[in-house]
Amino acid sequence: MPEFLRRWAGGLARGPGTMGLRIAVVGAGSTYTPELVDGFIRRMDGLPVDELALMDPDLQRLEPVAGLTQRMLDRAGSPTRLAITDDRSAALDGADFVIIQLRIGGQAARHVDETLPHRFGVLGQETTGPAGFGMALRNVPAILGYAELLDTVSPGAWLFNFTNPAGLVVQALRNAGIERTVGICDSANTVHRGVAAWLGVAVNSLRPEVFGLNHLSWTRCVRQDGTDRLASLLRDPAFIATTHLRMYEPDLLADVGMAPNEYLYYFYYAERALADILGEERTRGEEVAAINRAIEGIPPERVRLHCCWGNWDGPHIFDVPLELILPVLYQANVGALSIEMANPRHQHEIETIRRLPLPPDKVLIPGVVDTTTNIVEHPEVVARRIQEAVEAVGDRERVIAGADCGFGTFTNREWVIEPAVWLKLKSIREGADIASARLWDRGAVSGSSS
């Protein structure tokens, strides 16, 4: 929490005759809203929120998010009142803080942003380059309109911007004379968190130096007690393998001498990235939009989305890193994500879930058995993988053990013989029993090796 907000909120105490905050979320139909609500709930003792106003012009999109938000507040025993509206003035009136997360034009506009530059042999990436400017041309006027309205109905309120391209949006607000605004982007903090995880220390115990513009940033150093720990880690292949930095070649990291964030991949390797994208049938935005259209009207908790890197017995050395596609998967209106994590090439991907936390409204179904080999995983291995997933998600109720993919996904081709399939499924069950006993402290349970 920013220091100015900590001081302001610290002066508010719950009790008779006192008032807490009124926070408005514009664009609350976003699937990121439950993560915001989860943050408010975790901090409700120090950040008293009397009313949370969720505003979205699309009430059909807002309704399921609002329902989930109310259940989250009720489960936490939070006294926060929930207001739901599609009226901008009603949402902003009386607000102390406003969080704006917009995508004017929706996924259809994103598709244009990502594909139009391709006609000219230029990379299309939704928040940077030509596509980023296209997004800015739509989002900036809308944001300025909300800021002007906020200054009228709630002068003195602070505006927190999550809308991309974040740097351009905040600059536009500043240029318009709107000073009480803060731009937020978590992409710049990934290296900071990665170093903390590697050292096994609290994130706040380290002091990073980061410069750049939201999705285009570099981490110059990460200091612990005054000593830079990043410089040596950039030469450590073991550390690199645990972070998004593995997408960069060692020589590039040595030349730069700093840690670029993941979006800079599109600039350091522009030709390679463009070739990869042009080789795809549809953009990421198209894929998500198509899925959301297909399942419209179906409750998210009844939908599971599967993601794997091709169910085949090969090297998989050119598989795209999960961190590049996970934020897009989070935008799907589904209740659970099934992700391949037992394949040796992707067993490390659980660390991506730690860095990019699973939204509170979703369940993770990690693959705990490999579907391309006849080796039967020991139940203890399965149990360990389940426990690692629970630790990464932070909630034992939101992890379900699964397989990497199907066991019969190719006609006339059998990667795993039928007897081994049944043994693998048995290991999932036994491993889940072991993990459940440990996670719910039900006593020791041992699994068989057959």
| CA angle in degrees (0–180, nearest 5) for 63-331-211 | 120
Q: Nearest to residue 414, comparing CAs of 372, 362, 357?
A: 372
Compute, in degrees rounded to 10, the torsion defined by CA atoms 223, 224, 225, 231.
Answer: -50
- Dihedral angle sign, alpha carbons of residues 288, 165, 221, 226: negative
- Asked if residues 334 and 303 have their Cβ atoms less than 8 Å apart, the reply is yes
Strands (DSSP E) found in 121-170: 158-161
Provide the 3-class DSSP secondary structure of residue 26.
strand
CA–CA dist 450, 424 (Å, integer): 9
CB atoms within 10 A of CB 152: 11
Question: Which amino acid belongs to residue 275?
Answer: A
Q: Does residue 130 have a cis bond before it (omega within 30 degrees)?
A: no
263 is known as an active-site residue: yes
Catalytic option among 146, 248, 263, 330: 263
Query: What DSSP assignment string belongs to 284-328?
Result: HHHHHHHHHHHTTTS-GGG-EEEE-S-SSSS--TTPPPHHHHHHH
Q: Please, which residues bridge with residue 228 across strands?
A: 223
Provide the 3-class DSSP secondary structure of residue 52.
strand
- Asked if residues 110 and 130 have their Cβ atoms less than 8 Å apart, the reply is no
Give the residue numbers annotated as catalytic, written as ranges: 263
